[in-house]
Amino acid sequence: MDQYSQNPRVVITGIGVVTSIGHDIDSFWSNLLAGESGIDRVTRFDPSEFSCKVGAEVRDFDPTLYMDAKEARRNDRYTQLAMAASKEAIKDGNLDVTRLDKTRFGVLIGSGIGGMETIEIQYERLTRLGPRKVSPFTIPSLIANIASGVVAIELGAKGPNFGLVSACATSAHSIGEALRMIRYGDADIMLAGGSEASITRLSYAGFCSMKAMSTSRNDDPKRSSRPFDKTRDGFIMGEGAGIVVIESEEHARARGARIYCEVAGYSANCDAYHITSPDPTGEGLALCLKNSLKDAGLAPSDIGYINAHGTSTPLNDRTETNAVKEVFGDHAYNLLMSSTKSMTGHLLGAAGAIEVAATIKVLETGEVPPTINYEVPDEDCNLNYVPNKKVSANVKAAMTNNLGFGGHNASIILKDYNS
C-alpha cells in the first residue's frame, strides 16, 4: 500500500498549451500525431553569428487575447505565455472560477529561467541610456515566480502560490508538488505547470558556448532535433507554456467536470553528480522512476508508455535509456517510449508540463505520438522510441520524466481514471 493510499484521488480536468505546433490542446495534439515539427530558423533575433540558428518559436502569438494590453506590456513574454496557457486550461476544463472557493484555489507555475528577454532589453537600456531609463517593471518582470503571481491576481486565486525553479524539471515538479498539496489538503484545485521564453541572444550565446545545442542541421531545421538517433548532436530550444487543471476527485465530481486521468504517482530526487551532465550510470534517475512507481502503487509492467525527456543530446538519451532498462527490465523492450521534443524543441522549464499534456492525450485517445527524425539506430539506445509515425495502443498507465541542470530529476505517473 502506498503512503498516500488514504488520501483523495487527484485528477486532471483541463489542459492548456501554447507551443510552436499549436496554441491550444487540439491543434497541439493533432500536430504531434502527424509528426509536424515546429522548428525553423530563429526570427526573434538575427541568429547568423550563432552556431545554432534554429528554434521552436511560438509564432503569431497575441498576448492581448488573454490579458489587458497594459498588463501585457508590463510583463515578460514568459508570463504572457503562462497567462495564455492558464486561460486555455480553464477553458478546456470548463472551469467557472467565480464559483470556486478562492482560498482553496492555488497556482503553481514555474520557469527554468524567467524573464530573460526583459533582462536583455533592460540591460541594453541601462548601458545605452543610463539607469533612469530602466523600466520600473524590470524586477517584477524578470523574476521566475511572477507568472504564478500574475495568473493568481488575474483569477483571484488565494490558495498555495509560488514559482518552482529546477531547470528543465521545473514544470514536472510544479505538477507533482500540486498533486501533493491536494493530497495534503492544502487546496482543492490548482493550476500547475510552467512557462519559458528563452529564445534570446543571451540564452543562445550561453547554450552554444557550452556546446549543448545542435549545430549540424541549420540548413534543415525540421530534422535538427533527433532524440535517440545516433547522429544527434544537441538540443533545440523551444518556447511556450503548459498548464493543467489538477483537483481532488471529490471537487471535480462535485462540479461535474470531465476527468481526463488520475495523477497517480510522483517522485523527485537529485543525481548529486554534476551541474549540467546527468550521472551516466543513470542511478539517480532510475531511483526516481522506481519511487514514482511506488508512489502510484504500480508495477513496472503496468506502464504502457513513457514520454521521455529525450533531449537529443548524446549523454542524456543514453543515460535515460539505461535508467529505463534498469527499472523496467525485460518490459523495457515492450514499452512504447517517445520524445515529443523532436517536434516541439526543448521548452526548458515548460517541457515537463507540455509532455504531461501529451501523455494525458495518449491515455485518452489510444494514440501514441512518434519520435520523428529517428533514422540511424544507436546501439546504446535500442528501445522502441515509436520512430517517425504514430501508433495505436491501449495504454492504461503512463510515465513522463524530466531531468534538469543541477542534477534534478522528476517522474510523474498518469493513470486511466476508470482503470
Q: How many CB atoms lie within 10 A of CB 93?
A: 25
User: What is the grid cell recorded at 72?
Assistant: 501585457
CA distances to 282, 283, 287, 404 from 271, in Å: 8, 7, 10, 10
Q: How many CB atoms lie within 10 A of CB 312?
A: 27
**Catalytic residue, candidates 23, 52, 168, 288:** 168
Identity of residue 313: T
Q: Is 168 a catalytic residue?
A: yes
Evaluate whether 245 touches 391 at the Cβ level (below 8 Å): no
Q: Is 23 a catalytic residue?
A: no
Evaluate whether 186 touches 159 at the Cβ level (below 8 Å): yes
User: What is the grid cell recorded at 326?
Assistant: 534498469
Evaluate whether 117 touches 201 at the Cβ level (below 8 Å): no
CA 285, chain centre distance (Å): 17
Q: Is 173 a catalytic residue?
A: no
C-alpha 271/C-alpha 283 separation (Å) is 7
Phi then psi dihedrals of residue 383, to 5 deg: -100, 180
DSSP per-residue string spanning 222-238 = GGS--TT-TT---B-BB
For residue 39, the 8-state DSSP code is: -
Identity of residue 262: E
**Catalytic residue, candidates 23, 251, 346, 408:** 346
C-alpha 203/C-alpha 104 separation (Å) is 37
Contacts of 292 (CB under 8 A, 6+ apart): 265, 266, 267, 399, 411, 412, 413
In 3D space, the residue among 244, 353, 354 whose CA is nearest the CA of residue 22 turns out to be 354
C-alpha 415/C-alpha 124 separation (Å) is 48
**Catalytic residue, candidates 23, 173, 251, 309:** 309
C-alpha 333/C-alpha 99 separation (Å) is 47
In 3D space, the residue among 160, 147, 80 whose CA is nearest the CA of residue 111 turns out to be 147
Contacts of 6 (CB under 8 A, 6+ apart): none
Catalytic residue numbers?
168, 309, 346
